Amino acid sequence: MGGLLLLAAVIAWFTGFTMSPHGTAAGEGGEHVRTTVALFLRNSAIGTLILCAIAGWLLFPARRPRWPARDYAILGIIGVMAATSIYNLIWLATL
């Protein structure tokens, strides 16, 4: 179940990440969709954080293996998604 939630978090994160207007110039006449895009990005970032938290809770058992390469990979994926989602939330708050 944790793997499925992690996959859902990756999909939600990637959708919000590809919709993000970072580094691109806005086209003319697009001001009327600005609030809709900002709301979508905010909800996507919050959903990604929630899904990452639940997936991390389900994927990390109490007993640790001797060689935790799988745990480090999952931790890295969750860390990148959480960091970029928090950055999106901070960036949206400054608009």
Return d(Cα 48, Cα 31) in angstroms, integer: 26
Q: Which two tokens stand for residue 42?
A: 């905010």
Residues 3, 4, 6, CA angle at the centre, nearest 5°? 65
CB 16 within 8 A of CB 44: yes
Return d(Cα 52, Cα 5) in angstroms, integer: 8
Residue tagged 């990005």 (tokens): 41
Q: For the segment 3-44, what is each residue's pLDDT rounded down to a tens digit?
A: 888 888 888 888 887 776 655 565 666 667 777 888 888 888
Does the pLDDT value for residue 83 go beyond 90? Answer: yes
Kindly list the domain boundaries of the chain, sorted by start residue. Answer: 2-19+32-93
Q: For the segment 45-61, what is each residue's pLDDT rounded down to a tens digit?
A: 999 999 899 888 888 87
